[in-house]
Amino acid sequence: MQYLSTRGQTQPHSFSEAVEAGLAPDGGLFLPESFPDIRSHLNDWQSLTYPQLAAEFFQLFAPDISSEEWHSLTAQAYSKFDSPDVAPLRQLDEKTYVLELFHGPTLAFKDFALQLLGLLYKRLATQSGKTLAVLGATSGDTGSAAIHGCLGQDGINIFILYPNGRVAPLQERQMACTDASNVFAIPIPGTFDDAQALVKETFGDPAFTAAHNLSAVNSINIARVLAQCVYYIWATLRLPENLRDQVEFVVPTGNFGNVLAGFLAHQMGMPAKRFRVATNQNDILHRFFTNGEYRQGDVFPSFAPSMDIQAASNFERFLYLLLNKDSTRVRELIAQMKSGTPVTLPEPRGIFRASRLDDAGIAATIADVWQQYGYIADPHTACGFTDMAPDAISIVLATAHPAKFPEVVQQATGVDPTHPTLEALKLLPLRTHPLPATVDSIKTFIAEHS
């Protein structure tokens, strides 16, 4: 299995090479050259535990790592989750389910990929004897999950950029209160999109990337997206066979990585009826899947800060597949988007639809879900509980624990959501490394701390 760049100007990479690089040298994103058909595996996979399923799945994509090693990696990666199911599927009523993805160490769905990616980085550092500089941008959840995947690991330094004042206070504490000497939480002025652009620009310097063994930890990294495919398959296998093709997966989305993972699983043969892209008021993806126009605007802070994004990285992978792997056309369209010119595509919808909630809608929906089901949704998950499909079974992905966003949840439900790991954080000192939003200052900082 080889991995190709969406921009078509990078040599094919093996799985381990693609993971190490993160972003392809031509600025594109890696995708497997073809997708395996998983339909013949589904029966056998039904009785597996979550870590076993993840190991079997990854073997299809990374034969350069042995089956035994995959089982050991996934057993370790999911050992810190506080639910025996790892990703419990809860039924709220006849047609509505919640897939809880917040039982990992940082209480967000990002742990599914980043606990595993941290171990893959450790393996890489051990085998190569190199020290890796892991670089990422976050609007809140990726940063803490990435940091907790790499915390205290020899051979890894991790640098996370985030928009100053625009992540939730507890998200910032998760990043900046670890006291680990290999962790650098870096607030910058601007938005998440600015932080993500700085990350990509840093990777644009091949000499620097090579000198510091830089790897991208965002869902730019193909290992992230593949790890997220697994929980869609897991959820599907929890349902009776006759219902599986009736499912609309409802996915709160900012950077398009989560819903893309579901789409890829479907491309591999996982049954599903549809995917709903659930956005907050930063609704570029909602507009795209409604009228076909991809037009970037300003980012406005919302109650769901992890989704405060207007330049969704993984959209490039989707474009590549939508355009039948025409990487020349992908390069043209990405350049057009970067220049601020809107892009219009015919019939983008296919198996997708979209919904949108502004802050008032998020607060009202948290209150409704609480009243209707006695269930507390965090503000990101709440974006999914609108516009429910009359013709489908909905599986809403619960992407974060409500205790990460106590103010809005408390106001909407009257319940103060807490979690012991977050309570402990409130007492610790913050250690951040503020930098100007320039690529030179980021590079200098990495060079000094690698």
Ligand X SMILES: N[C@@H](CCOP(=O)(O)O)C(=O)O
Contact pick of 6, 178, 255, 279 for ligand X (by CB under 6 A): 255
Give the binding range for ligand X (CB under 6 A) out of 5-13, 92-100, 253-261, 324-332.
253-261
Smallest distance from the beta carbon of 307 to ligand X, in angstroms? 6
Contact pick of 111, 141, 248, 316 for ligand X (by CB under 6 A): 141
Under rule CB under 6 A, which residues in 312-371 are in contact with ligand X?
Answer: 313
- Decide if residue 280 touches ligand X (CB under 6 A): no
Active-site residues: which are they?
Answer: 110
> Taking the C-alpha atoms of 36, 40, 41 and 42 in order, what is their torsion angle to the nearest 10 degrees?
110
- Decide if residue 254 touches ligand X (CB under 6 A): yes
- Decide if residue 257 touches ligand X (CB under 6 A): yes
Strand partners, 99: 89, 397
Smallest distance from the beta carbon of 298 to ligand X, in angstroms? 17
- Decide if residue 74 touches ligand X (CB under 6 A): no
Q: What are phi and psi of 90, to 5 degrees?
A: -105, 135
Smallest distance from the beta carbon of 183 to ligand X, in angstroms? 16
Nearer to ligand X, 162 or 370 (CB): 162
Smallest distance from the beta carbon of 309 to ligand X, in angstroms? 6
Smallest distance from the beta carbon of 201 to ligand X, in angstroms? 16
Question: For strand 274-279 and strand 247-252, is the pairing parallel, antiparallel, or unpaired?
Answer: parallel
CA–CA separation, 441 vs 450, rounded Å?
Answer: 14
- Decide if residue 215 touches ligand X (CB under 6 A): no
Contact pick of 115, 142, 153, 202 for ligand X (by CB under 6 A): 142
- Decide if residue 282 touches ligand X (CB under 6 A): no
Smallest distance from the beta carbon of 257 to ligand X, in angstroms? 4
- Decide if residue 306 touches ligand X (CB under 6 A): yes
CA–CA separation, 310 vs 283, rounded Å?
Answer: 8
Contact call for residues 252 and 79 (beta carbons, < 8 A): no
- Decide if residue 140 touches ligand X (CB under 6 A): yes
Contact call for residues 402 and 415 (beta carbons, < 8 A): no
DSSP states along 146-197: HHHHHTT-TTEEEEEEEETT-S-HHHHHHHHS---TTEEEEEESS-HHHHHH
- Decide if residue 163 touches ligand X (CB under 6 A): no
The SS3 assignment for 251 reads strand
- Decide if residue 118 touches ligand X (CB under 6 A): no
Phi-psi region of 432 (alpha: psi -120 to 50; beta: other; left: phi over 0): beta
DSSP 26: T
Contact pick of 191, 218, 282, 394 for ligand X (by CB under 6 A): 218
- Decide if residue 139 touches ligand X (CB under 6 A): yes
Amino acid at 353: R
**5-19 core/surface letters (b: 16 or more CB in 10 A; e: else):** bbbbebeebebbebb
Give the binding range for ligand X (CB under 6 A) out of 45-53, 55-63, 134-142, 264-272.
134-142
Contact call for residues 427 and 394 (beta carbons, < 8 A): no
Q: Please give the residue ranges that form the binding site for ligand X (CB under 6 A).
A: 138-143, 218-219, 254-255, 257, 306, 313
